[in-house]
Amino acid sequence: MGRSWKELGECFFDYYTSKILVIRSRKVGTLNRFTQALVIAYVVGYVCVLKKGYQDTDTVLSSVTTKVKGIALTNTTELGERIWDVADYIIPPQVEDGSFFVLTNMIITPNQTQSKCAENPTPASICTSHRDCKRGFNDARGDGVQTGRCVNYNDTVKTCEVLSWCPLEKIVEPPNPPLLADAENFTVLIKNNIRYPKFNFNKRNILPNINSSYLTQCVFSRKTDPDCPIFRLKDIVEEAEEDFQTMAVHGGVMGVQIRWDCDLDMPQSWCVPRYTFRRLDNKDPENNVAPGYNFRFAKYYKDSDGTETRTLIKGYGIRFDVLVFGQAGKFNIIPTLLNIGAGLALLGLVNVICDWIVLTIMTRKHHYKEQKYTYVDDFGLVSI
């Protein structure tokens, strides 16, 4: 027990200092230089050049406004021949959060009034007598409040009568081809302002080289007009490898992605937006329940006798979400020094790796170990 304490005391007061051992070996030398080359290539090539580790970075702040233009002509039984302009098919007219909706198809129920009519047939509304209908009952999935009467829906089916906007909307599929098929030729001007607050840098996607005359006639094209901020809706959908007319039947959601990746050590003219497009909603053919994008809205009128009527529209269309991403970088001494320090630390690990290989794997490992470690005890040199 006393000997153990003595050995522990001696170890506690040991002092370790570095010793340089030069091993003249092609194998060890090649391994050392190769490992150093890997570390230097990683620090210089990947960290500094590819990832720009010498730069400080900031994420983009962005605002987006849009303006859609275009005219469409429809001729339906319910509305007759009609022109649709931007006030009709952009819903709501003031878009927010970088999104806008374009109406492409619809189911129209005209001349609805507050009256009584037979409910659309469902398991909950089909009846055989008045006893099957409960006065005042309101089905959350129905179209009105039951009056307590069972009436003829058609020659073969009876349903409960409801107080509602009548006639009720028919349960049918949307028209195919879509009513507003001309919407594919509508254009949208996307105005995007970005800022990198850390670097006090501002820019917009209407670049300095774009003037008013160019803006009135250009349409985005990757080959001829890659900087034009005006996009044809059909081109957006086709860039996402979709068919506009097919998508317009039930509607959907498209993403317009604007990426600002800017190296602020370079001229500001090099900082330009990159546009990509993709469909965001699910179109899995194996899971096609409730496809597309739709909602209902109504236009209200009053007759000369004061009777209120409305035209109910179940609108289908495409919602466009403008999504802005980006990162800017600029030289800063702090990340530069941090990455240089990390690189030097990695170079230090090279010696550790080579020492481990020499002392554990090499054929003459015992000889190397004897040469590497020596003890100095009471000023007497003892080799082990």
Binding-site residue positions for ATP: 67-69, 187, 294-296, 314
Using the 8-state DSSP alphabet, how is residue 126 labeled? Answer: B
354 Rama class: left (phi>0) / alpha (psi -120 to 50) / beta: alpha
Find the farthest-apart pair of alpha carbons in the chain and give their distance in angstroms, rounded. Answer: 122
CB-CB neighbours of 273 under 10 Å: 22
As a whole number of angstroms, the distance between CA 25 and CA 28 comes to 5
Residue 152 contacts residue 118 (beta carbons within 8 Å): yes
Binding-site residue positions: 67-69, 187, 294-296, 314
Q: Which residues 6+ apart lie within 8 Å of 41 measured at CB?
A: none
CA 281 remoteness from chain centre: 11
Residue-wise DSSP of 196-225: EGGGTEEEESS-TT--HHHHTT---BTTTB
CA angle 180, 183, 186 (to 5 degrees): 155
Which tokens sit at 268? 């500001």
As a whole number of angstroms, the distance between CA 374 and CA 384 comes to 6
Using the 8-state DSSP alphabet, how is residue 90 labeled? Answer: B
Residue-wise DSSP of 254-286: EEEEEEEEEETTS-GGG---EEEEEE-S---TT
